[in-house]
Amino acid sequence: MPRFALKIEYNGTGFSGWQRQSDQTTVQGEIENALQRLEPDVPSIAAAGRTDAGVHALGQVAHCDMVKDWDPNRLMGALNYHLKAHAISIVACARVAPDWHARFDATERQYRFRLVCRRAPVTHDARLVWQVGHGLDLKAMQDGAAHLIGLHDFTTFRSVMCQSKSPVKTLDEISIVQADYPGGQEFTFFLRARSFLHNQVRSIVGSLERVGAGSWDPDRMRTALEAADRSACGPVCPPQGLYLSHVVYQDDPFIG
């Protein structure tokens, strides 16, 4: 069966996450419904990573197996036609080898998190950012984040429901960018790693917000990490500011 890689963008608002559920609206479920409109016996698709309810994607990647040898652009167009009622878009489609796998062939996942600081409620970015009503100290958050770079036991920043076999992960980057505008600020957090634990990004950003607000000293990020204890984590931030922004492959199927 011909295999195709799909690069997917979606607004996670209103979806119960990525993974298909029999009684909930999910991103995977709607894409599989669209595929079945094209070919009724399409197998389940596989993605580079699952996202929780309310989490967005700019560059999620999945693969699907088809019976017909579709032209990738025609397949992308047909899927987008059947997905037009949903906040899901297939932004690229490519033919890949039969053994290519969206999850297992990925060498890096990249996430971004948007945090807006202002008193007035956001309007255009409602459900697309996490909003707090106080300012944050960029340098303090950067100093706190530096303690997390590298290979560590991230038990503190791991959901109790995480199914990963090990809490040990290598975090390659946490960078934070501040943008000021009249009436507020926006902080964007960029995180890169081969893989992440469940709720790891939201746990880290929630703890760094406490550092930026002055409630935590930057060194508390180090002591929280070394505790390897979930109770040492700060508040887990809400999902609406989180985006799966990019998935890296050694041979990117969407280039060339």
DSSP 68-110: S---HHHHHHHHHHHTTTTTEEEEEEEEE-TT--TTTTEEEEE
pTM for this entry: 0.96
* pLDDT > 70 in the chain, percent: 100
pLDDT value of position 29: 97
Average confidence (pLDDT) over 22-49: 94
DSSP 24: B
* Residues 191-241: tens digit of each pLDDT: 999 999 999 999 999 999 999 999 999 999 999 999 999 999 999 999 999
Q: How confident is the model at residue 182 (pLDDT cuts 50, 70, 90)?
A: confident
What is the CATH class of 107-245?
Answer: alpha beta
**Is residue 58 classed exposed, middle or buried when 0-12, 13-18 and 19+ CB atoms within 10 A define those classes?**
middle
Task: Give the residue numbers marked as catalytic.
Answer: 52
Kindly give, in sequence order, each residue whose CB lies less than 8 Å from that of residue 8, ignoring residues fewer than 6 positions away.
27, 31, 57, 59, 60, 61, 62, 88, 89, 90, 91
Q: Could you give the residue range(s) of every CATH 3.30.70.580 domain in the chain?
A: 3-104
- Quote the CA–CA distance of 108 and 110 in Å, as a whole number: 7
Structure token pair of residue 109: 């996942």
Contact of 149 with 171, CB cutoff 8 Å: yes
Average confidence (pLDDT) over 171-192: 96
Q: Could you give the residue range(s) of every CATH 3.30.70.660 domain in the chain?
A: 107-245
Q: Please state, rounded to an integer, the average pLDDT across all residues of the chain.
A: 96
What is the CATH class of 3-104?
Answer: alpha beta
